[in-house]
Amino acid sequence: MKKTLIVIGLLAVAAVGIWWWRRPGEAADAGDAKPVATVQVAPLVREPIARTLTAYGTVESSPGGAAAVTLAYDCVVREIRTTVGARVAAGDGLLQVDPTPDAALQLDSARGVAGLADRALASTRQRYDLKLATDDDLRAAEQAAQDAGLKLRSLEGRGLGRAANPVTAPVAGVVAKLDLQPGAIIPAGTPLALIAGFNGLQARLGIEPSDEAVVKDGQKVTLTAVSRPGQAPAEARVASVGAMADAATGSLDVRVPLPAADAWFPGERVQGDIELGSETGLVVPRSAVLPDDDQQVLYTIKAGKAKKHVVQIGIAAGEKLEVTAPDLSVGDSVVVQGNYELSDGMDVQVGDAAAKAEPADAAEAKP
């Protein structure tokens, strides 16, 4: 029994000794393990990339796309039926007006003159039949009656004879201007409202005068609504470039007609990317390039290890960059996510979500 206990004790001591003897080696092995970074990659491609100029502006009616609402007589505003920014259809009521007292008096006078001219004409015809009036007398009476009738019908046709005369929208669109109050007296010919038609909208972008030499009529423009991220971009063409700087902003106006099929709001802010030209080169996502002191770098994967490349930046267009470097080739796996953790020669593992485009030398390294 005692021998058995002694043997068990010796075995326990031996086991503890072995455990302590192996522990430092395991710690050293753990310390020797190299970190492995998980990254996502995209293939380096050669494709056209456009050189663009970004400008900002607003949506407004083109000169031929807005309709001013006017009346041909002096009026008094009785009721306002809409507001600035409201959508209206052709024929919708905008406001109601009454003729001013002077305008009503003008109509009454025209009616009186027309009645007198008709009676004078009838009397002249009777005297003409009795050989008491000449041909010239008859023609003069007919001319006076005709002129008086034309004036009366013109005034009545303008709506001068109707009280609470409704003023309607001539076209479908958005009310862009309506600066009136009930009781206001409006002279004849003064715009009562301005309707911006949906089929006549344009973007008015502002560029620096120094950029005038590179922006030309007909260049492609990609327009994006600044306050509506979900709105799909629209493509259009430069219609004109202004030759006079705005006194308030110092910028030149670039006019870009908007596609009629797209939904735009007059007055909203837009971003316009004007395409100045394009080149074909090596293109990577913007996230692939990192600043490194006074240089720009990106990483590729070669046989499971990160390789650092110093690159020169060319054209920047949206989320794409043109890069050049002597040690880059089409098809290289460029790290686009996780590259902030990398250093040259570091072991890497491509994440499942990435497009695992492996270079040829990595494929040859596999057994």
For the chain, which residues make up each domain, given as ranges?
36-50+279-365, 71-190
Contact in structure between 272 and 62 (CB atoms under 8 Å):
no
User: Can you tell me the mean pLDDT for 356-365?
Assistant: 41
- Does the pTM surpass 0.75? The reply is no
Environment class of 216 (CB within 10 Å of its CB; exposed 0-12, middle 13-18, buried 19+): exposed
Q: How far apart are CA 74 and CA 350, in angstroms?
A: 78
Which two structure tokens, joined as six digits, stand for 303? 């046989």
Is the pLDDT at 10 greater than 90? The verdict is no
Is the pLDDT at 298 greater than 90? The verdict is yes
pLDDT digits (tens, 9 = 90+) for 170-223: 888 888 888 888 999 999 889 989 887 767 788 999 999 989 888 999 999 999
Architecture label for domain 36-50+279-365: Beta Barrel (2.40)
pLDDT digits (tens, 9 = 90+) for 100-131: 888 888 888 988 999 999 999 999 999 988 88
Cβ neighbours for 332, distance < 8 A, ≥ 6 positions apart: 43, 44, 300, 359
CA 354 vs CA 85, 272, 282: distances in Å: 47, 32, 20
- The helix-helix angle for 101-129 and 135-157 (nearest 10°) equals 150
Contact in structure between 38 and 338 (CB atoms under 8 Å):
yes
